[in-house]
Structure 1
Amino acid sequence: MTTLHDIARWRLRTQLLEMPVADAETAVRTMLAVQAENPAQSAWAVATRTLAPHASDLAEALTDGKVVRTHVLRPTWHYVHVDDIRWLIALTAPRVLPVFDRQLQPSADRMTALTDAIEHAVADSPGLTRAEIGAALAESGLDVPSSQLTLLLGRLELSCLLSSGEPRDGRHTFALMADRVPPAPAMDRDAALAHLALGYLSSHGPATDRDLAYWATLTLTDARRGIAAVSERLEAFEHDGLMYWHAPPTGPIADRGRAHLLQVLDEMYRGYQDSRWALDAEGVVPRTREASIGMVLCDGQLVAGMRRSVSATKAVFTLSPYRGIGSRERDEIEDAAARCAAFLGVEPVLEFTSG
C-alpha cells in the first residue's frame, strides 16, 4: 500500500531532486514551470535539480532567452522555457488577468496610455528595470505607485506584450515579448489542457486533480478534462480517499532520499495544495500560516524550518526543527548545506535553534 511518505519520496524523483538533469534549461523545461518570486532563492531551486549546480547556468539561459522569468499560472513569477510560455499564457491568463484587474481597476483610457508609454519605452531601450520603466512613465506625466507598477507590468506580461529581458547586474529587466520569444502556432485549448496535465503530472506526480487545478489556476473541470485526455499515458492509485495520478515510473523509487535545503516557495511545497502535506506524513509541522522561510527535507519529509543568511564568505543556515534530528539526518543535512553553499561560492555554517 502506498503511504504519504512514499508519495513524498516519489516526488523527490519526479521533481528531479533525486534524479537531476544536465542543466538549468532542461530542468525548467522538464518541470514546465518553476516558481521564481525570489530570484536569489529560486536560482537554487533550479540549480539543485541539475547534475553540476552553477550560478552561471541559469543566468546564461535567462540571458540567451532560453528560459523566461515572467508572470504565468498563479499570479506570481515563474521560470518557464521559451517554447512553453505562449501556450501557457494563452491557457491560463483568462483566469489570472482578473486578479490583476481587480487590484488595478484602471480606466480604459488610462490603461491604453500606460500600455503605449511602456511599450515605447521598452522598444526604444530593451532591457529596462522596473524602476527605469517607472521613471519613463513619470517623464511622460504618468506617475504610477510602485505597487501598482508591479501589477501593471505583470498584467502586460500576461497580455504577451512584455517578457523578461537580459538580466543586468543580477537585476530583472523587461523587453518586448516579440523580441525575446519567437512566435508559435496557437494551440487548441483541449490540446493545451492535455499537454499541461501530462507535463505537470510527469514532473510533479503523484498528484491529484485539485493539485493541478491549484497549480495552473484552472477550474477543477478543466483539470479533470486535461487528465482525462491523457489518462492512457498515466497511472493512478487511491490513498485516503484521493486519486493520485502520475506518469509510469522509469525505474524503482529510491529506498531513501537525501536531505534538501529549499525555499518554502519550492515546487516540492508550492507545487501542490490538495496533497501538500505528504511532506509531513507524521503530522509534526504546525498547520499555521506559512512563514517566508526555507525548509529542510529529510527523505522527503519536512523536519525543520530554515533561514539562510549569505555574506561574502559564508552561508549561515539556521534550522528550527519540528522534531528530533537523528545523527544520520544531521549528516545528510550537513551534506545538503555544503551543496548549497558550494553553489553560492561560500562556506556553510549550520546552526540549530529551539524554536
Structure 2
Amino acid sequence: MSPHDIGRWRLACQRLSAPYAGSAADVVSHLLAVQAENPGQSAWAVATRTTRRDAADLAGLLASGEVVRTHVLRPTWHLVAAADLTWLIDLTAPRVRPTFERQLTAGGWSAADVDRAWGAVLDALAARPDLTREELAAELAARGTTATGHELMLLLGYAELERLVCSGRPTAEGTHTYATYDARVPPTPQPDRDEALARLARRYLAGHGPATERDLAYWATLTLGDVRRGLAGAADDLASFEHDGRTFWHAAGDGPPAGGPDPAGHLLQILDETYRGYQDSRMLLDAAGLAPAGRETAIGMAVVDAQLVGSMRRTLGARARFDVAPYRPLATREVAALHDAAERYAAFLGLEADLRLADG
C-alpha cells in the first residue's frame, strides 16, 4: 500500500470520485461533519461529492433544519445533520468549551456576564427567530449588553456548544442566522459515552478512511485514550493495515479502488475534508513532498489523481476565474483534468470557467 494508493482510497471514500453520493444530505451524513467556515466554499465541498451538484440541494436542507451549520468538533463551523448534532456536541464539546471560555475571560467577560447575554439572546430569538449576527447585536444592545465582532462570535459559538442556539433559516441572500437549539434540533434518544465513542469511530472512518487514531483525535478534539476506546468498541465494523510505522483504520469490507479516480482533477478549498479531515497523515495528499510550507495560506488546492499539484485561488466576476500555481510542471493529462474540474465548479456557480495556470 503506497501513499498514493491511500490517497486514491480516501478520495473514493470521501465521494470525491465515483461512486458519488446521491444528495447533499447523503454527503453530510456520510462524512458526519463537513467543515463550513466559509459557506460558499463549503457549499461546493458538499455539491462536488454528489451526482446533482445543485446549490439548492444543501440550501433546502439548511432552510428546513435537516442540516445545521454550527460550532462542533473543533472551535469552528461545521455542517452536521440535525439528527447527529446532539450526541456529537455532548461527546466533543467538553474539550472545546475552554477555548471559548478563555477568550471571553481574557476580554473581561465574567460567567455572570455570559449568562446574562445568553438570556438576552434566547429572549430575542424566542420573540423573533432567524436573526443575523448583526440583528442579535442590536437586540443585545437594546437589552443593555454590548457585544460585537469577535466577542459576539465567541459568545454565540459558546452558546452553540451549550446547545442553546444553532443556525436558523438563512436569509434570502444566504446570510447565516440563529435560532434556538430546541426549535431546530428535535429530541432523539442519545447513546451513552462508550456507544458514542464507538459510533464516532465507525462514522468517521466510513467517510474518511483509511486514517490513523491521531487523525481522529485531531478531527474530534478527543484524547487518544477516548479514540482508542471508540476503535475498540467499533472493532467488529473496522479493519486496519500498517503503513510507514502507523496503523490505518477503515470500514470493514472497504478497499482501495481499482485504477485512478474518476474524475481525476479537483479544485477545492483548503478547508475541505480531504485536507482538514486529517492531521497526522494529512500530507499523504502530497506524497512527493512538493507543496511549500506556506500552503496553509492558500485559498484552495488543485488536486489531480489524489495528489496536490498546486495552489488555487478563486475569483468570481463575469466568469469564474481559477488561478492555479503548480508545484511542478504539469503533464497534458493533468492540465486537462484541471480544466474539467474548473468547468464543473463554474457550472455549479452558474458561470463560465476561466482556468489560468502560472508557470510551473
**CA separation in 2, counterparts of 1:250 and 1:64?**
33
Q: 2:279 aligns with which of 273, 282, 290?
A: 273
After superposition, the C-alpha distances for 1:193-245 in whole angstroms (9 at most, x for unaligned) are 00000000110000000000000000011111101111221111111101000
The reply to whether residue 148 of structure 1 matches residue 168 of structure 2 is no
Residue in 1 aligned with 2:167? Answer: 164
Residue in 1 aligned with 2:184? Answer: 180
User: Are the aligned partners of 2:9 and 2:256 in contact in 1 as well (CA < 8 Å)?
Assistant: no
TM score, norm. by length of structure 2:
0.96
The reply to whether residue 16 of structure 1 matches residue 19 of structure 2 is no
After superposition, the C-alpha distances for 1:78-103 in whole angstroms (9 at most, x for unaligned) are 00011100000000010101110010
Residue in 2 aligned with 1:253? Answer: 257
Residue in 1 aligned with 2:3? Answer: 4
% identical aligned pairs: 54
Shift, 1:254, TM fit: 3.5
SS in 2 for 1:243: strand
Residue in 2 aligned with 1:228? Answer: 232
Shift, 1:117, TM fit: 0.4
User: Are the aligned partners of 2:295 and 2:311 in contact in 1 as well (CA < 8 Å)?
Assistant: no
After superposition, the C-alpha distances for 1:304-339 in whole angstroms (9 at most, x for unaligned) are 10000112x310000010011110011111111000
SS in 2 for 1:295: strand
Residue in 1 aligned with 2:140? Answer: 137
**CA separation in 2, counterparts of 1:200 and 1:25?**
16
SS in 2 for 1:288: helix
Residue in 1 aligned with 2:117? Answer: 114
Shift, 1:251, TM fit: 6.4
**CA separation in 2, counterparts of 1:118 and 1:333?**
46
Residue in 2 aligned with 1:241? Answer: 245
Equivalent AA in structure 1 for residue 117 of structure 2: L
Equivalent AA in structure 2 for residue 267 of structure 1: E
Question: Structure 2, unaligned stretches of length 5 or more?
Answer: none
Residue in 2 aligned with 1:342? Answer: 347
Report the more deviating stretch, 317-326 or 101-110: 101-110
**CA separation in 1, counterparts of 2:179 and 2:162?**
13
Q: 2:322 aligns with which of 313, 317, 326?
A: 317
SS in 2 for 1:262: strand
Residue in 1 aligned with 2:357? Answer: 352
Shift, 1:352, TM fit: 1.3
Residue in 1 aligned with 2:309? Answer: 303
Equivalent AA in structure 2 for residue 332 of structure 1: A
**CA separation in 1, counterparts of 2:9 and 2:252?**
12
Equivalent AA in structure 1 for residue 290 of structure 2: V
Equivalent AA in structure 2 for residue 186 of structure 1: Q
The reply to whether residue 84 of structure 1 matches residue 89 of structure 2 is no
SS in 1 for 2:114: helix
Structure 1 runs (4+) greater than 2 angstroms displaced: 248-252
Judged with a 3 Å threshold, the aligned counterparts in structure 2 of structure 1 residues 225 and 45 are, in CA distance, closer, same or farther, namely: same
Shift, 1:250, TM fit: 4.7
Shift, 1:252, TM fit: 5.6
After superposition, the C-alpha distances for 1:247-305 in whole angstroms (9 at most, x for unaligned) are 13456603112111100000000000000001011111123361141001101000010
**CA separation in 2, counterparts of 1:232 and 1:185?**
23
SS in 2 for 1:88: helix
Equivalent AA in structure 2 for residue 147 of structure 1: H
Residue in 2 aligned with 1:218? Answer: 222
SS in 2 for 1:151: helix
**CA separation in 2, counterparts of 1:127 and 1:271?**
30
Shift, 1:20, TM fit: 1.1
Residue in 2 aligned with 1:326? Answer: 331
The reply to whether residue 43 of structure 1 matches residue 49 of structure 2 is no
After superposition, the C-alpha distances for 1:135-181 in whole angstroms (9 at most, x for unaligned) are 11111121113100001100001100001100002100000010011
TM score, norm. by length of structure 1:
0.97
**CA separation in 2, counterparts of 1:172 and 1:112?**
23
Shift, 1:122, TM fit: 0.9
The reply to whether residue 72 of structure 1 matches residue 72 of structure 2 is yes
Residue in 2 aligned with 1:202? Answer: 206
